[in-house]
Structure 1
Amino acid sequence: MNLCKRSFFARKNLLASIRQYASTAPEIEQNEQVLIDDTDDVQAKEAEIEKKRNKSRLSSAHYNLVNGKRPYETPMSISHLTVKYNRKMYGKYGVSSGVNPSLCWPTKQEIQERQEYEAVAFPYTIKEMMDAAAQRKKEEQLKIEQREKEIAAKFEKLEQWKKELNQKIAKKTAEAQAAKMKKERLVEEVRRHFGFTLDPRDERFQEMLAKREKEQRKLEKQARMEAKEKMLIAKLQQKNVELNEKA
């Protein structure tokens, strides 16, 4: 009997509480909505005040950059969703960027691609590259030493080359002087041939001069041939003497 009474009163109290809540619920919801609206108004006012404080008239992205903050809190383009961009943001702004630092580690695929690239771009080990560099340096040093030896040898011959050059210059000068004197002699012979003064530009003078030059060349040629024959005869005589001595 006591249990039944207790159950009856409990149900009665529960129904009373439900009726009381049902009567006051609209007021509670209305009060909560008022609080939410007031909060939104306060935030809007704060945003408006903050906007007015920004006298620079910069955009929000530029303002954040100037103040050392991440330019965009929310992605504004597809590039802002890439791993590369987020790594850059974390590298520049650290934890304040809001980027998960695990993105900074390369993936298995990136590691594999990097290894394949290095295998092609840098096929040699560090030891092999050091040995190759040392060999190149050694070869370059040998080339330098060889070049220095050649320069020193040529420098030793410098005086001899100067002497030979001076001899060639003197020979050419002497030949030119001799040719000039021969020309003057021929001109003088032509003048004596005519027996009177004649303009060197005259046709008769030029013909006689050409004739004399031809005769002179013929005589010089004959003289060279005779000298050559004498030299050949001298060599043959010397050879006969040597053969007789051996016999």
Structure 2
Amino acid sequence: MNLKKYNVGALKYVRPKFISTLSGNVLFSPSIPNEIIADADTTRFDKSGLRRDHRNVLSKAVPYKTPHTWIHATEKYQRKLYGLYGNNSNVDPKICFDSVIDRAKLDKLDRIAQPYNLQQLREIVNTQEANKLELIKARENGLRIKLNKLEQWKSELTTKIAKREAAAQEAKERKERMVEEVRRHFGFKVDPRDERFKEMLQLKEKEGKRKDKEAKRKAKEDMMVAKLVEKMP
């Protein structure tokens, strides 16, 4: 066919005669025969400025016919291609499935990460829940027992405080009596800071402790005698 008649090289300057598309296909005016369109280099009329791989992506075609980098030969990229383009990607579908070796490695990792199966995990969870319930019940029972003894503890605490107050009051009164006895011993008013007063007060305190000890011993002996008398026929 005579192309000089139509001057194919000058078609790019005839804007009303064609429309360029991103896919690289050119829609020419009906005034240009189809033979000229088939023989013309349509990439010359692409005004998008995109690379061929980008145009392929926009037209939903495989970007590269042959690998351009080592990434295109990886298993991950091949799987992605098959997922996007299916059989048109010219990728073997079996690459999407793990091999026996890969499956064995994954199973080993799963056994390390999750050593228990579902039934065992369920039993472990049930045991933990049962233990928690037992602890809660034991705590509730302990609180119930303590609440029942609360009034008793209050009474015991009140009695204990009263005994301590009585003992403190008794000790105070005993000391006051000793001070008064020391003053009567000297026959005149003595300064409590005087050394003679302090010495005499210490003697009185020792004597008082001795008397208390004797009284406790005598009370203990009387109690033992009473027990022996009760045991006698």
After TM superposition, the score normalised by the length of structure 1 is: 0.61
Greater mean alpha carbon deviation, residues 108-117 or residues 148-157: 108-117
In structure 2, C-alpha distance between the alignment counterparts of 1:75 and 1:164, rounded to whole Å = 92
In structure 2, C-alpha distance between the alignment counterparts of 1:136 and 1:206, rounded to whole Å = 70
1:230 is matched with 222
Please tell me the residue identity of whatever aligns with 1:153: I
- Per the TM alignment, residue 135 of structure 1 is displaced from its structure 2 partner at its CA by 2.4
Give the alignment of 1:52-131 within 5 angstroms: 82-84=74-76, 94-95=84-85, 100=91, 102=93, 103-131=95-123
In structure 2, C-alpha distance between the alignment counterparts of 1:128 and 1:203, rounded to whole Å = 84
In structure 1, C-alpha distance between the alignment counterparts of 2:142 and 2:214, rounded to whole Å = 47
Mark the runs of 5 or more structure 1 residues left unpaired by the alignment. Answer: 1-30, 33-37, 52-66
Contact kept? 1:86, 1:99, Cα under 8 Å: no
C-alpha spacing 1:186/1:46, structure 2 compared with 1 (3 Å): same
**1:212 matched to 2:222:** no
- Among 138, 156, 162, which residue is 1:164 paired with? 156
Mark the runs of 5 or more structure 2 residues left unpaired by the alignment. Answer: 1-7, 10-40, 52-57
1:17 is matched with none
Bigger Cα Rg: 1
Contact kept? 1:190, 1:205, Cα under 8 Å: yes
C-alpha spacing 1:161/1:195, structure 2 compared with 1 (3 Å): same
C-alpha spacing 1:224/1:90, structure 2 compared with 1 (3 Å): farther
- Per the TM alignment, residue 139 of structure 1 is displaced from its structure 2 partner at its CA by 2.4
In structure 1, C-alpha distance between the alignment counterparts of 2:43 and 2:199, rounded to whole Å = 126
- Per the TM alignment, residue 105 of structure 1 is displaced from its structure 2 partner at its CA by 3.1
Give the alignment of 1:131-146 within 5 angstroms: 131-146=123-138
- Per the TM alignment, residue 42 of structure 1 is displaced from its structure 2 partner at its CA by 5.9
In structure 2, C-alpha distance between the alignment counterparts of 1:224 and 1:203, rounded to whole Å = 32
In structure 2, C-alpha distance between the alignment counterparts of 1:151 and 1:101, rounded to whole Å = 70
C-alpha spacing 1:231/1:46, structure 2 compared with 1 (3 Å): closer
In structure 1, C-alpha distance between the alignment counterparts of 2:141 and 2:76, rounded to whole Å = 58
C-alpha spacing 1:200/1:79, structure 2 compared with 1 (3 Å): farther
- Per the TM alignment, residue 190 of structure 1 is displaced from its structure 2 partner at its CA by 0.9
- Per the TM alignment, residue 134 of structure 1 is displaced from its structure 2 partner at its CA by 1.8
In structure 1, C-alpha distance between the alignment counterparts of 2:69 and 2:189, rounded to whole Å = 108
In structure 1, C-alpha distance between the alignment counterparts of 2:69 and 2:185, rounded to whole Å = 111
1:185 is matched with 177
Higher RCO (Cα < 8 Å, 6 or more apart): 2
- Among 128, 151, 169, which residue is 2:143 paired with? 151
In structure 2, C-alpha distance between the alignment counterparts of 1:211 and 1:122, rounded to whole Å = 81
- Per the TM alignment, residue 39 of structure 1 is displaced from its structure 2 partner at its CA by 7.3
In structure 2, C-alpha distance between the alignment counterparts of 1:118 and 1:84, rounded to whole Å = 21
SS at match of 2:115: coil
After TM superposition, the score normalised by the length of structure 2 is: 0.64
In structure 1, C-alpha distance between the alignment counterparts of 2:90 and 2:197, rounded to whole Å = 109
Give the alignment of 1:5-84 within 5 angstroms: 46-47=48-49, 82-84=74-76
